[in-house]
Structure 1
Amino acid sequence: MTDKPLSGRKAQAARNDKLILEAAHEVFVNDPEAPIAEVAKRAGVGISALYRRYPSKEDLLRKLAGDGLRRYMELAREAVESEAEPWEAFRTFMRAVVVADTPSITVRLAGTFTPSPDMFQAAMEGDALNKAMLARFKSAGVLREDVENGDLQMVTESVSSITIGDAERTREARLRILELHLQALRAPGAAPLPGSPVTDEEMGARWIPKGVKE
């Protein structure tokens, strides 16, 4: 059974929403303090059309971050269920996360808005997926034993902070640097890692809005 095509107005609304979210990613990853009007301008839609869909900047940020989290979870689930050779499955996952640019949302937007309860629930599900993924690749002997979820998060966030030239050059540079990190992540590892990994609690604390005490 195929989905029915959207009517004229609904199709236009769907196109506008796609344009708004793409523009919001570009605008807010570059400058989290940018006004919502800048998103409408970048998307080429009227400010009234944007406000009909997202009544406030916080609503738009929650949608953007929520979509990024769901995309990350899709990629993690694919990695857990992949029938590919384990190292290639892990490498494919890490590359896909960098290409999807979901870590940029965390780096730039964490702490700038109040996450919804649904986002916290999704984050818990994501943690479970991460643990399953780490267990799979460690048991397969391809991922070094002293690597934890926080390490992978820091690697992808670090790589996603790279901006060189245009979008294509940035993508090329990010994947090159990621490959260097991947060689360090592969078992058995040249030497033990110093210190302790970033914990789930430390990563979660970043999403508490700035100025709000726990």
Structure 2
Amino acid sequence: MSSPLSGRRGQAARNDEAILDAARRVFLRDPAAPVSAVAREADVGMSAIYRRFAGKEQLLQRICADGLRQFIAVADEALALDDPWEAFTRFLGGVVDADVHSLTVRLAGTFDPDDELARLSQEAERKQVALLGAAQDAGVVRPDVELNDLAMLLEQLSAVRLAGPDRTRDLRRRYLALHLDALRPAAATAPLPGDAPTGAELGARWQRRG
């Protein structure tokens, strides 16, 4: 039987999860939504939120950090695979299913990233470099694809959103399959036009707007 203290800790953990899940849903729908909308969505009082988070800024930092941790976990699972193409496709499929890039599309520029987000972003980049590099070294991904092309590809797929989560996931997987075919060296009929986005261009979106 759990002690009263462990029971309180369990309830606090459940509240944390409910608040973060609600914050993700609320702010993906409307990045300008107030913290009170999160409280309503999570069915908790405002005091429950402010005991854990100083305000909206910290909530946004936390859900984006959690998204990056998901991204890193997916990458780690892929990196454990021996086959470079399987690892590459497992990685992209896992990131699409986790819907991590919706956070970038909706929330970039709405808050100031903290040091933890910068650290996680650098870790995520290192793992992407390893996965893409291994696939290109093995000759299974066309050599003119660059790291930041993958970010744009994943953001395009995050825009696919229809009636419900199951239908949305199926359609995203459908269009990911088309992208994966296009990433094969045999699909290349000409060099890719233009240049991939730079790190500075992608990073500029996180500068706070307004």
**TM-score under structure 2 normalisation?**
0.93
Q: Does 1:66 align with 2:65?
A: yes
- How many Å separate the matches in 2 of 1:45 and 1:125? 34
SS in 1 for 2:187: coil
- Taking only aligned residues, the RMSD between alpha carbons, in angstroms, comes to 1.3
Show the counterpart of 1:90. Answer: 88
SS in 1 for 2:207: coil
- How many Å separate the matches in 2 of 1:117 and 1:78? 25
For structure 2, list consecutive stretches of 5 or more residues without a partner in the other structure: none
- How many Å separate the matches in 2 of 1:104 and 1:129? 20
Show the counterpart of 2:51. Answer: 52
Show the counterpart of 2:117. Answer: 119
- Do the aligned partners of 2:88 and 2:135 also contact (CA within 8 Å) in 1? yes
For structure 1, list consecutive stretches of 5 or more residues without a partner in the other structure: 1-5
- Do the aligned partners of 2:35 and 2:56 also contact (CA within 8 Å) in 1? yes
| Corresponding letter in the other structure for 2:178 | L
- Do the aligned partners of 2:158 and 2:172 also contact (CA within 8 Å) in 1? yes
- Do the aligned partners of 1:80 and 1:136 also contact (CA within 8 Å) in 2? no
- Do the aligned partners of 2:149 and 2:196 also contact (CA within 8 Å) in 1? yes
Show the counterpart of 1:128. Answer: 126
Deviation readout 1:138-197 (Å, 9 max, x if unpaired): 111111101111111111111011111011111111111111111111224322211001
- Do the aligned partners of 1:145 and 1:188 also contact (CA within 8 Å) in 2? no
| Corresponding letter in the other structure for 1:17 | D
Show the counterpart of 2:7. Answer: 8
**TM-score under structure 1 normalisation?**
0.91
| Corresponding letter in the other structure for 1:51 | Y
SS in 1 for 2:185: coil
- Do the aligned partners of 2:142 and 2:188 also contact (CA within 8 Å) in 1? no
Aligned residues: 205
Show the counterpart of 1:152. Answer: 150
| Corresponding letter in the other structure for 2:104 | T
Deviation readout 1:112-155 (Å, 9 max, x if unpaired): 00111121122122222221121111111111101111111111
- How many Å separate the matches in 1 of 2:188 and 2:144? 12
SS in 2 for 1:54: coil
Show the counterpart of 1:23. Answer: 22
